[in-house]
Amino acid sequence: MKSDAVRKGMQQAPHRSLFNALGMTEEEMKRPLVGIVSSYNEIVPGHMNLDKITEAVRIGVAEAGGTPVVFPAIAVCDGIAMGHIGMKYSLVTRDLIADSTECMAIAHQFDALVMIPNCDKNVPGLLMAAARVNVPTVFVSGGPMLAGHVRGRKRSLSSMFEAVGSYAAGKMTEDDVREYENNVCPTCGSCSGMYTANSMNCLTEVLGMGLQGNGTIPAVYSARIRLAKMAGMQVMECLKKNIRPRDIMTKEAFMNALTMDMALGCSTNSMLHLPAIAHEAGFDFEAELANELSEKTPNLCHLAPAGAHYMEDLNEAGGIYAVMKEIASLGLLNLDCMTVTGKTVGENIANAVNRDPEVIRPVSNPYSATGGIAVLKGNIAPDTAVVKRSAVLPEMMVHEGPARVFDCEEDAIEAIKGGAIHEGDVVVIRYEGPKGGPGMREMLNPTSAIAGMGLDSTVALITDGRFSGASRGAAIGHVSPEAAVGGPIAFIEEGDIISINIPEYRLEVKVSDEEMEKRKAAWKPKEPKVASGYLSRYAKMVTSANKGARLELL
């Protein structure tokens, strides 16, 4: 066993004395050492229940003959961090999580790991770590929140942000907003729509790193506790069979994940995280691959913010396996990929049943013939830009309008809420990319303000930053190259006409090449917004969004 390096032989007598100090018995020292990476904290609603999940995993590991040892991982609540300097510290934690977990796992020579994430950067960070460490590993998340109810209708966090926009537009009273405030987030768990956290937990299930139900069983259900116990037991089976993350997270598995991303209508953040995880697993892919898969993958689910369904509805309809079975009927999934169950994808989904053809549309009646995400290119985004087209209204799939240019999120929000943005405009927010932000902030506040003010059918937004999975509308992010490195988005001027054509994957400014070259020659880089601390180091090492905003060595 890997842990023999710290527990067996005379040379390891000092090590054993420290295990004695932990209260570990001689019998426990003979068993496989299983690290349980718990993301429990008391500031993230999606993590406040992870102490119970962790204890259930401990029980499962011990029942199956392992010695469970818990150590922590950090997590940021994107909702609480939204709209202020705190959001600069969200995406950047993905790499801190991966790095610190790698350090802990290798320093202490764990034989296997159970990862317990739940929210946005926590899931991909631990997947990255799993690929690096490559010991038998099983994921079990904390589960999604139940939907809230306001005046007889299901609601979620995105409804809350949009309510603030409606208040700014005079469409809601302060009491109306307070009613939403007190009812949209009724339980612990990751926010209840197909936002980033739930997208990544569902895709973990698709990749084969989590058990059935990992992405959809609500946080407050007892089934979630049972799942956690099963995860603890299953990691011991993976250890016996020597099934490791890199045996599971193969090129074919990532193609399955990208395909299901299209079918589910996941958050655009998945287009940052999947490339970064794949890179750690030894496989790189171009973002444009998403369009190739999207062209042949129907979009079968419209969960909030794209539609009126929520994670609890997807769970009751049959969960991720039921969606996979629909897509597999078109021959679009590799069914031979290995999973943590010890079975192949095909074996796992063989008995899945679609119990609600409205929540999970059959392939004969999809929401759209193409997938939920599109990658755009053009003279604004020579590399790529990304949009969640399943959350775009039909009338905004093709749009032209004058640019309203802002060099930070705060200025854009002030203009939107101040009534300075009008029908037909294209809001441009730049210098918010991985380097320019730094940290590539989410733009849920401006997109929600646009939607809340009733402008989402006439106003588009493009940015070198990114969007929350809760954003909806013609919200185009990840523009690469970003403004901070002299990408063309830096050269757009107020009033330039911007052309968006999502069906044709085009994003352009109607300015001649010659004029753009003149503007480029006159452009000067801005001073870094942050000159010290972790964000400063991050800005120096981070790659472009089209490469997953991953870190590279200096």
Structure-block tokens of residue 338:
């290995």
Q: Give 253's pLDDT tier (boundaries 50, 70, 90).
A: very high
Q: What is the 3-state secondary structure (H, E, C) of 407-459?
A: CCHHHHHHHHHCCCCCCCCEEEECCCCCCCCCCCCECHHHHHHHHHCCCCCCC
Mean pLDDT check: name the lowest of 357-361, 384-388, 549-553: 549-553
Q: What's the CA gap between 383 and 395, in Å, rounded?
A: 26
Answer whether 541's CB lies under 8 Å from 432's CB. no
Return the beta strands (E) in 148-278 as ranges. 148-150, 153-155
Task: Give the mean pLDDT of the chain.
Answer: 96
Q: What's the CA gap between 271 and 70, in Å, rounded?
A: 31
Q: Which of 192, 270, 448, 468 is catalytic?
A: 468
State the Cα torsion 405-440-191-245 to the nearest 10°: 150
Phi, psi of 29 (to 5 degrees): -70, -15
Mean pLDDT, residues 538-544 = 95
pTM listed for this prediction: 0.96
Structure-block tokens of residue 514:
């010659």
pLDDT at 106: 98
pLDDT at 273: 97
Burial class (CB in 10 A: 0-12, 13-18, 19+), 333: buried
Q: What's the CA gap between 196 and 271, in Å, rounded?
A: 10
Q: How many CA atoms lie within 13 A of 424 on its CB side?
A: 6
Q: What's the CA gap between 255 and 262, in Å, rounded?
A: 11
Mean pLDDT, residues 289-301 = 96
Close Cβ partners of 214 (under 8 Å, ≥ 6 residues apart): 139, 140, 141, 201, 202, 204, 205, 227
Using alpha carbons only, how large is the chain's radius of gyration in Å? 23
Answer whether 115's CB lies under 8 Å from 37's CB. yes
Structure-block tokens of residue 10:
């005379």
* Type of residue at 176: D
Query: Which residue do the tokens 């830009």 mark?
Result: 385
Q: What's the CA gap between 194 and 302, in Å, rounded?
A: 8
pLDDT at 464: 98
pLDDT digits (tens, 9 = 90+) for 166-210: 998 899 999 999 999 999 999 999 999 999 999 999 999 999 999
Asked if residue 554 has pLDDT above 80, the reply is no
Instruction: Quote the DSSP letter at residue 378.
Output: S
pLDDT digits (tens, 9 = 90+) for 223-245: 999 999 999 999 999 999 999 99
Query: For residue 492, which of 505, 483, 484, 481 has the smallest C-alpha distance?
Result: 483
Q: What's the CA gap between 120 and 462, in Å, rounded?
A: 22
Answer whether 118's CB lies under 8 Å from 12's CB. no
Structure-block tokens of residue 296:
């042949």
Give the three-class secondary structure for 278. Answer: helix
Structure-block tokens of residue 118:
């739940």
Close Cβ partners of 257 (under 8 Å, ≥ 6 residues apart): 203, 206, 207, 274
Report the range out of 279-293, 462-476, 478-492 with the highest average pLDDT: 478-492
Specify whether 468 is catalytic. yes
